Structure 1
Amino acid sequence: MQSLFPSHGHDAKKPSAGFEGESTDNWQRIKDALRQMLPEADFNQYIEPLKSRVVSESEIVLTFPDMSSYQKVLNSYMDQLDYCKATSGLPVLLRFEIEGAGSTEVDPLVDLDYTVANDVPQVPDNYPEPGAQLPSDAREGSNIVARALTLQSQLNAEYTFQTFVNGPSNQFAHASCLAVADAPGQTYNPLFLYGGTGLGKTHLLHAVGNKVLKTKANAVITYITSERFMNELIYCLRFNKMWDFRRKYRNCDVLLVDDIQFISGKERTQEEFFHTFNALYEAKKQIVVTSDIFPQDIPDIEDRLRNRFQWGLIADIQPPDIEHRVAILMNKAEKQGMILQSAVAEYIATHAKGNIRVLEGALRRVIAFSALQGRAINVQLASEILQDVLVDKNSDSNISIESIQKIVAEHFKIKVSDLKSKKRQRALSFPRQIAMFLSRMRTQSSFPEIGTFFGGKDHTTVMHAVKKIEKDRKKDLELKAQLEAIERKLDVIS
């Protein structure tokens, strides 16, 4: 006989004569509750034939007649079985065996080894259909399982709102996250954060979780990267643990998902996340998602997911300006117990025009060289150390007007010849203006020179395009997202 839940020791405890009747009654109470919840035909076919065997005063073994009946109960009725056990208030452990399957032990698929308080409410008449979200009055018991599956919140304790350097480029995202942390599931749900790599999205994500835990210690916070979500899904599919997987992600108070863009093209992962999203949203649980890309620009993703990302609030994070970069450097230096001269901070901030990680890397390099060489940190030392490290991307010869035209055309799914034509349809003029703007920003070309690459356009036409895009991107979030997406592609070839 195959034991699906082997005993913890080599020798299982033998049942005591004084406990056998009581434990048998415990299983009968659970069966009676199940009888009220399941269709009569299903109960008679899958639950009634189960044989019970007492192992100890707090442990019962249930024997399934075959593997198919076990699979049916596992896939369709484990929520109900778990709920009946929880609402009965019985501190009993259920283990499963399959009759006639040999004696080889396998890893447990489901762990129901937990206890609940005796004041859990009775089973409601309107208990959901198999596989549906548990009712709210049952969630206190099921959260115990959720915590056990989650193990840890996976939050970085150093990433808090207090350690986040707020500035004009991230002020909106910071305020949105703070509002969500103060009232999870009530204000902006879901909250979608997007911005380039290394701009602080992950920091804010952890800060939300840490603040919620600070105000509500019993909250179930689940932080996960989309890659890990996919890997866990694959594992649970492989080893038939989908019931565990769904209970973990659908019984949390706050779900924090990092880099959601990586589920692009992963159909099964998208489907499972879609159902997880729906279950949490309907239960008014908070969902916070980060991405490097605006929702509309994430390729190979289902429209139903794309639409749900836009149900709540979308907050973007822009690259910090020079004053903000200086503040970040001063803050990082202070954390390392050193005072950074403002002139040194300004030098690094002026030349490190990438993301915050570039700033941190430059600062660490300067501090390390200072310690190793025994020299004071000043502008001269910083310039010597960083001259070969910090390169202005605008001076990179790989970025040309032709390469900008090619990438813009690919982004808008038009031809490069359309950018050079005289056609004035918005479907062509808008990408043309963006290409002119980026040509001005990312190359050293003059307005007349840029005009020659766009079919001999007058320099005033180029100037108008640059000014228009520069003005509109400050208030048009969609335009801003498109510019960022194109610039990330340009950064790859720079």
Structure 2
Amino acid sequence: MTNNYLEAWSNCLEIIKDNVSLQSFKTWFEPIRPVKLQNSVLTIQVPSQFFYEWLEEHYITLLRKTIKKELGAEGKLEYSIVMENGTSNSKPYTVKIPTTNRQALKNDPVSVPLDVNKDHPIKNPFIIPGLKKIHIDSQLNPNYSFDSFIEGDCNRLARSAGYAVAKNPGGTAFNPLLVYGGVGLGKTHLVHSIGIEIKNQHPNKTVLYVSSEKFTHQFIDAVRNNNQNDFIHFYQMIDVLIIDDVQFFSGKEKTQDVFFHIFNHLHQTGKQLILTSDKAPVEMQGMEQRLLSRFKWGLSADLQSPSLETRIAILENKMYNEGLELPKEVVEYLAYSITTNIRELEGALISLLAQSSLNKKAITLELAKQMIDKFVKNTAREVSIDYIQKVVCDYFDLPIELLKSKTRKREVVQARQIAMFFAKRMTKSSLANIGMHCGGKDHATVLHACKTVNNLIDTDKRFRTYIDELEKKISIQ
């Protein structure tokens, strides 16, 4: 048995490392710092109350056995919990809690008190000052529910994590839950869905959605009016805080500082934080490291561009909710043409309906092509490989699965070569990417296909007719 606290904790870590996963070890044990060893009592410092509670809930048996093995039968463990109060100029203080007496946690002032005088109610930056907590408007959009959020491979992880949070806010490992991804992929929709579901399942919880821009403006107003404490106290009352587009805190040091303390208080008191960003924490610039490290505490789930099937499902869901009917070929054309942005996809559908209504024209594929030509002019102008394959398969009456298969039947090979030819000519995709879309072929096969098609255009009049007709069908010029 050693009397050196550094050596004692190092020996404990060696035992713990063999009994937990590498990720768990890095997350929950590497941040711990040994403080002292006195009378067979090892004191360790942990970053927060939440951290302490997690260790007690998930690793108490392992810790107890490890301490007994290292320090003997009389060995005990004490925690020194680093806390910060709700102001920016305070120094951290510590609270000692014996691991054998969890009740001690409730008796120590480890959480930051609101320190509110009942005669001076907290000002609510969203509504008339003085209203009670229960009257806080959640700022959630009722149209953004889980029912209208279409699940696909592009968002399955984020949606599943969001639903788990909705069932048990503040009680899962997904705290904070950070949802990130490009513009128009459904981040805002998803976090509204989580908030709405929490309100449905936990009506006593106070849920608040706020954009980072509004949060910043409220803070600036609070500084100007010298009521920063009211601003901080208001946000410390929230049970589930949803902040949209946290990347806009970049470069705003004072806003980051006040959000850091609000974040800490909510996290340490078991409240749920849900954040969105256009990029992963590791890619955020101009953000304080202590804030970024907290963003990484929970789960960072990305939203990717939706697949063709998901895009079609999104359009069909929108049509169902609006009581609309469109020809299948038009729906497919929209889904094939706009590939990266759900917001643009739904916008294209609305524009098409407006064009039809204003001009008293039936919704046809031709009208859709004309509308897409204008709608996509400044965005994703390029036709997709998927759409080229669909048009070619429809033209030759072949299942698209057959075109992507390994079959060497003459008519399938020819259709596949034509699809490769148009993909190289009408998209910016690499030869390797085109080959991958066409049944996993390599770039040499794509080059050979293009050469074969060019030769047939020059020598076969009937084949040249095929190409001319297909070009008209595919083209969105």
Give TM class, smaller chain.
0.5 to 0.7
CA contact (8 A) 1:149 1:248 kept: no
Q: How does 1:156-235 map to 2 (within 5 A)?
A: 156-187=141-172, 188-235=174-221
Shift of 1:245: 0.5
Between the two proteins, the alignment pairs up a number of residues equal to 281
- Alpha-carbon distance change, 270 to 143 in structure 1, aligned in 2, over 3 angstroms: closer
Match of 2:354 among 357, 362, 368: 368
Shift of 1:165: 1.0
SS in structure 1 at match of 2:234: helix
Q: Residues 157-200 of structure 1: CA distance to partner in whole angstroms, max 9, x if unpaired?
A: 11111111111111111101000000000111110100011111
- Alpha-carbon distance change, 156 to 444 in structure 1, aligned in 2, over 3 angstroms: closer
Match of 2:391 in 1: none
- Alpha-carbon distance change, 306 to 442 in structure 1, aligned in 2, over 3 angstroms: farther
Shift of 1:128: 6.7
CA contact (8 A) 1:146 1:247 kept: no
SS in structure 2 at match of 1:301: coil
CA contact (8 A) 1:233 1:269 kept: yes
Distance of 1:149 and 1:227 partners within structure 2: 24
Distance of 1:210 and 1:444 partners within structure 2: 41
Match of 1:471 in 2: none
**Aligned residue type for 2:113:** Q
Distance of 1:444 and 1:196 partners within structure 2: 20
Match of 2:403 in 1: none
Q: Residues 398-418 of structure 1: CA distance to partner in whole angstroms, max 9, x if unpaired?
A: xxxxxxxxxxxxxxxxxxxxx
Distance of 1:310 and 1:260 partners within structure 2: 13
Shift of 1:216: 2.1
Match of 2:367 among 375, 381, 396: 381
Q: What's the Cα RMSD here?
A: 3.3
Match of 2:237 among 239, 244, 251: 251
Q: Residues 311-365 of structure 1: CA distance to partner in whole angstroms, max 9, x if unpaired?
A: 1111110010111111101111111111222211110011112301110111011
CA contact (8 A) 2:181 2:187 kept: yes
Match of 2:462 in 1: none
**Aligned residue type for 2:149:** F
Match of 2:95 in 1: none
- Alpha-carbon distance change, 445 to 184 in structure 1, aligned in 2, over 3 angstroms: closer
CA contact (8 A) 1:254 1:287 kept: yes
CA contact (8 A) 2:179 2:301 kept: yes
Shift of 1:377: 1.6
Match of 2:329 in 1: 343
Distance of 2:132 and 2:188 partners within structure 1: 22
**Aligned residue type for 1:240:** N
CA contact (8 A) 1:194 1:293 kept: yes
Distance of 2:131 and 2:261 partners within structure 1: 17
Match of 2:304 in 1: 318
**Aligned residue type for 2:154:** S
CA contact (8 A) 1:227 1:262 kept: yes
Distance of 2:257 and 2:263 partners within structure 1: 10
**Aligned residue type for 1:346:** E
**Aligned residue type for 1:133:** P
Structure 2, unpaired ranges of 5+: 1-86, 89-105, 125-129, 384-425, 433-442, 445-477
**Aligned residue type for 1:258:** D
Shift of 1:367: 0.5
> What TM-score do you get using the length of structure 1 for normalisation?
0.52
Task: Confirm or deny that 1:152 pairs with 2:137.
Answer: yes
- Alpha-carbon distance change, 306 to 227 in structure 1, aligned in 2, over 3 angstroms: same
SS in structure 2 at match of 1:288: strand
Shift of 1:142: 8.8
CA contact (8 A) 1:193 1:201 kept: yes
Q: How does 1:276-295 map to 2 (within 5 A)?
A: 276-295=262-281
- Alpha-carbon distance change, 189 to 160 in structure 1, aligned in 2, over 3 angstroms: same
CA contact (8 A) 1:201 1:290 kept: yes
Distance of 2:431 and 2:150 partners within structure 1: 37
Shift of 1:134: 4.3
Match of 1:3 in 2: none
Identity %: 40
Distance of 2:369 and 2:202 partners within structure 1: 48
- Alpha-carbon distance change, 147 to 222 in structure 1, aligned in 2, over 3 angstroms: farther
Q: Residues 452-494 of structure 1: CA distance to partner in whole angstroms, max 9, x if unpaired?
A: xxxxxxx99xxxxxxxxxxxxxxxxxxxxxxxxxxxxxxxxxx
Task: Confirm or deny that 1:354 pairs with 2:334.
Answer: no
Shift of 1:393: 3.9
- Alpha-carbon distance change, 444 to 176 in structure 1, aligned in 2, over 3 angstroms: closer
Shift of 1:254: 0.1
Distance of 2:310 and 2:218 partners within structure 1: 38
Distance of 1:341 and 1:251 partners within structure 2: 51
CA contact (8 A) 2:123 2:230 kept: no
CA contact (8 A) 2:176 2:272 kept: yes
- Alpha-carbon distance change, 367 to 283 in structure 1, aligned in 2, over 3 angstroms: same
CA contact (8 A) 2:114 2:233 kept: no
Shift of 1:373: 2.2
Distance of 1:359 and 1:232 partners within structure 2: 34
SS in structure 2 at match of 1:162: helix
**Aligned residue type for 1:206:** H
**Aligned residue type for 1:350:** Y
Distance of 1:228 and 1:334 partners within structure 2: 34
CA contact (8 A) 1:236 1:245 kept: yes
Q: Residues 432-463 of structure 1: CA distance to partner in whole angstroms, max 9, x if unpaired?
A: xxxxxxxxx9845668xxxxxxxxxxx99xxx
SS in structure 2 at match of 1:290: strand
Q: How does 1:288-307 map to 2 (within 5 A)?
A: 288-307=274-293
Match of 1:327 in 2: 313
CA contact (8 A) 1:270 1:302 kept: yes
CA contact (8 A) 1:224 1:256 kept: yes
**Aligned residue type for 1:235:** D
